Amino acid sequence: MMNMLSRTNSALVLLLLFTVWDWLPINPLPIAFAQKPNIVYMVADDLGWGDVGWHGSEIPTPNLDKLANAGAKLEAFYVQPVCSPTRAALMTGRYPIRHGLQVGVVRPWAQYGLPLQEQTLPEGLKTAGYATAIVGKWHLGHFAADYLPTRRGFDHQYGHYNGAIDYNTHIRDGGFDWHRDDRPCNDEGYSTHLLAKEAVSIVERYAGKKPFFLYVPFNAVHSPHQVPQEYLAPFQHLEGQRKLYAGMLTAMDEAVGKIVAAIDASGQRDNTLFLFNSDNGGPNPGKVTSNGKLRAGKGTHYEGGVRVAAFATWKGHIPEGSTVSEPIHVADWYPTLLRLTGANVDQRLPLDGRDVWDSITDGKPIPDRELLINATPSAGALRQGNWKLVVTGPATREEQEDEEAPAAKGKMQIQLFDLAADPYEEKNLAAQNSDVANKMLARWREYQKEAVPIKIRPKPKAFVTPKIWGDHLTPTYSDPAALQTAAPFFAALDDSGKYWKSNEHVGKKTIVVYFYPADMTGGCTKQACSYRDAAAELSKFNVEVIGISGDSVENHQAFKKLHGLNFTLLADTDGKIAESFGVPVTRESKKVVAKVEDKELTLLRDVTAKRWTFVIDPAGTIIYRNTEVTAVEDAKNVLEVVATKSK
């Protein structure tokens, strides 16, 4: 279609055939996306290796077992020793040493999070046409608005930012922590139940209409160990925290069943990829959790801390009842899923994860497989083939959260294990295989040198818990885009199909944001061409122009080529950007048939915005708003504003 369009003065004949269908909040599924799988990625928090049915658990997990048996059990799946680093690796495809998150978790008081220069998995999946949602625990930073999930590629957010919240009150350390779309949400109930209900609603909203990435990081079965009384009845033979943990796991397994049932009811089972893993090994093994025979547990670099229960299931694509013994790291899902879905990503930062799809589907080995399990200033682990090096030593001062704690003492110890012969790490072979140990230690030290400084810090003595954690997006004024207010964050796919975020542009230039009803119409053409022709003058004032409509990426590509436009167009297909600026939108499905010379184009959209224009200065403040735009005069008026401002 693109070759059929040319920048000529040929007559553009528009046949506007408006058909009002029942309103759907999302676009009809393009043919190109019809076979892209929905992705449901579920994460358990602090689940023990031995606490799933397929590993012989005394706690029944029928729904997880059924899914695992329908696909591939990933029996050498590695994560980080604790929560936040695992999530960072999943979101970016990069080891936490690249983020400064290799030690500890992102605490409630932390003034940092997943670095903003990192590209995220949901951002990449959006370029492949996916709707994206997180339902559960974020734990990658909430101290500033740009670190919240809806600023990191998720269309929808529901759940909490911190770990260890109260399951019923949703409070952590005195601050409320339950949110919908990154604004406080007062839904009442047991968190696992609420997450299941929300996940089901996401499935019902998108299934069969648009491919979706549903990320469900449960806070179960992390402490505090709380569960409704009815879930304890089957576990009268257990005691203490183990009994509560068993009830919590039962509730989580029930939630998994509800999500799967929603997929089945939607008719999308054959087109849905299910992924599951724990974020780290079970804590307090033998008392609260079970890691089977694996050594140690959460917070360590032994297998019990970093090798977790995991599976991948997709009917017709992943062999039913299969087992994958190749070492896989959680960071591998980033490149694997982006390639699988055909994402359009210019990867700016080098990846550590590898595409492991052929290993999962066809059992192919991963050549030269090396996994960095971690590299802190004092400890870590590295796996090469079946060899595993474990380094343990006294924590450095920078690794300690307690400023008043005495300096750790002790010597560094090097351990080497042959996991093929000794999967439970019982025999240290470092002395007998010193050449292997020394080479692996040298390699591990290379990673250690590459690591950015760790970000963990003690809790400031003057820190005061906020009433609501991470409450940065609740409007403090009724007009979302009034003059002299901060411009709202906005993001969408641009006309090249790449994910465009305003916080990567605002603050560097003056930004002109103009909303227009649709492509291929007379007024919209005049408005766009006025900006095209004013490009040289606008560039003198360091201005970037952004045109926004409810049309698709494909329509924007055609419109841009037809008129030789030299600025970015964003596809606000769900109307969220228009709403964030207070621009009125009409939500009804419309079909436009446009004839260009002897070629006919059919354009579909569900959102039509009014013609409004805004100017955002380099400080991120709205300095101009025009709600009565005359298309042909728009660029001229904006030029006058920026010229006056520059004097």
The pair phi, psi for residue 232, each rounded to 5°, is: -90, -15
Q: Which two tokens stand for residue 590?
A: 């419309």
Q: Provide the β-strand partners of residue 596.
A: 12, 599
Say how far apart CA 106 and CA 454 lie, in whole Å. Answer: 11
Say how far apart CA 262 and CA 195 lie, in whole Å. Answer: 14
Say how far apart CA 467 and CA 451 lie, in whole Å. Answer: 35
Q: Which has the closest alpha carbon to 526: 16, 15, 12? A: 12
Residue with tokens 């025979």: 293
Residue with tokens 């046409």: 129
- Active-site annotation holder among 83, 160, 222, 329: 83
Say how far apart CA 114 and CA 344 lie, in whole Å. Answer: 22
282 touches 235 (CB < 8 A): no
245 touches 220 (CB < 8 A): no
HEC profile of 297-320:
CCCCCCHHHHECCEEEECCCCCCC
429 touches 416 (CB < 8 A): yes
83 is catalytic: yes
- Active-site annotation holder among 55, 139, 329, 556: 139
Q: How far is CA 427 from CA 422, 424, 432, 612, in A?
A: 7, 9, 11, 70
- 233: enclosing H helix or E strand: none
Long-range CB pairs of 636-643 (<8 Å, 24+ gap) are 636/530, 636/534, 637/613, 638/512, 638/534, 638/538, 638/543, 638/613, 639/534, 639/537, 639/538, 639/541, 641/615, 642/510, 642/538, 642/541, 642/543, 642/615, 643/541
Exposed / middle / buried, residue 377 (Cβ in 10 Å: 0-12, 13-18, 19+)? middle
**Residues whose CB is less than 8 angstroms from the CB of residue 474 and which lie 6 or more positions away in sequence, other chains included:** 183, 184
Q: Which has the closest alpha carbon to 280: 195, 221, 216, 192? A: 221
Q: Give the full edge-to-edge strand order of the sheet including 599-609.
A: 12-17, 585-596, 599-609
77 touches 308 (CB < 8 A): yes
Q: Provide the β-strand partners of residue 132.
A: 213
* Residues assigned a catalytic role: 83, 139
